[in-house]
Amino acid sequence: MKRIDFENHFYDVCFYDSLQKRDTPPFYRGDTEILTWTNDIKVPQGNVTPSLLDIGEGRIKLMDDLGIDLAVLSCSPGVESLDAADSVDVCRKTNDALFAVTKKYPGRFLGSAILPVRDVSAACKELERCVKDLGFVSWQVHSNFGKDAAPDDGAFRPIFQKAADLGVYVYLHPQLPEYSRLEGYGFPLAGSGLGFTLDCVITTTRMIFSGLFDEIPNLTVLLGHLGEGFPFVLTRMDNRVGMYKNPLLKNKHNPSYYFHNNILVTTSGNMSKEAFYCTRDMLGTDRILFGSDHPYENAAEMVTFINEIPMTDAEREAVYYKNAAEKLNIHVK
């Protein structure tokens, strides 16, 4: 059975080099292999750095062993919190490095652009270059850009419009939240244990309430981890929005509408049968794509999970590759 992986991460060395020059978060120290995202969050990188930097034969072998035909590579977490000038340089170098990999292994990798969002004009130009010149299929954006900015801010609308105009999707990946209540317990609270999901949910909801999808109705956004918890709360959200009319909300439809028209979800890093069933029952199998979240999650376990969870062969084919062809025009060659 063909398989396309929509969440497969890498770093280029230029990202670490840039972070090592910084004295304020985010910064990286090679001697300790610790990435300091905030004063409270220090993440050891030693166990994942080799895999993040390996976008050659090692990654190809892993994909072959797991039967993954094609992977969309993305730099995550990203560089949006860097100063604009530094971000422009790092994004271009990272995108160029990714392009080189896609050319070296044709038919195995696709590119997802990382953009210097704090310079909106430069970000739009870089996305256009990545799509038209480098053949990338998406923009990888994160759920916040530091303490003072996030994707739902109106200032970033032109980048979303550019993505829609170019016909590429946007993958909204979690970032560490900027909320004081998530401090004090380190990465287990603020990161992938809970904080990532909270930040993605808040950002996505604000994108909906701000009218982003109504302004750009052909925009497609992907969320990882089986929808970041949305399938569990969508019915209640619809109900509350209908019950408490609020002129501040600019969305023309209930929140669930956008999950059937603009938002797709991937399996990345969520191996809960109950979560899968909830997502399938709420959104339909045709709204789910396969993602491994390599190397932050065990790709082999993710494949085993999809192989073994009860569903029809047609549903499994849809998750693994047919939805990609039908919804995103991405095919295994």
Specify whether the CB–CB gap between 298 and 62 falls below 8 A: no
293 among known catalytic residues: yes
The per-residue pLDDT for range 184-225, each reduced to its tens digit, is 888 889 998 999 999 999 999 999 999 999 999 999 999 999
Rounded to 5°, the CA angle 166-114-65 comes to 100
DSSP assignments along 70-132, one per residue: EEEEEE-S-STTS-HHHHHHHHHHHHHHHHHHHHHSTTTEEEEE---TTSHHHHHHHHHHHHH
Domain ranges in the chain? Answer: 4-328
Question: Domain 4-328: which CATH class?
Answer: alpha beta
Could you tell me which residues come within 8 angstroms of residue 260 by beta carbon, excluding any fewer than 6 positions away? 283, 284, 287
278 sits in which H/E element: helix 273-283
Annotated catalytic residue within 86, 286, 293, 313:
293
CA gap 138, 127 in Å, rounded: 9
CA gap 292, 269 in Å, rounded: 6
The per-residue pLDDT for range 12-69, each reduced to its tens digit, is 999 888 888 888 888 899 999 998 888 778 888 888 999 999 999 999 999 999 999 9
Is 0.75 topped by the overall pTM?
Answer: yes
Nearest CA to 137 out of 104, 173, 109 is that of 109
Instruction: Write out the two tokens for 227.
Output: 């929808």
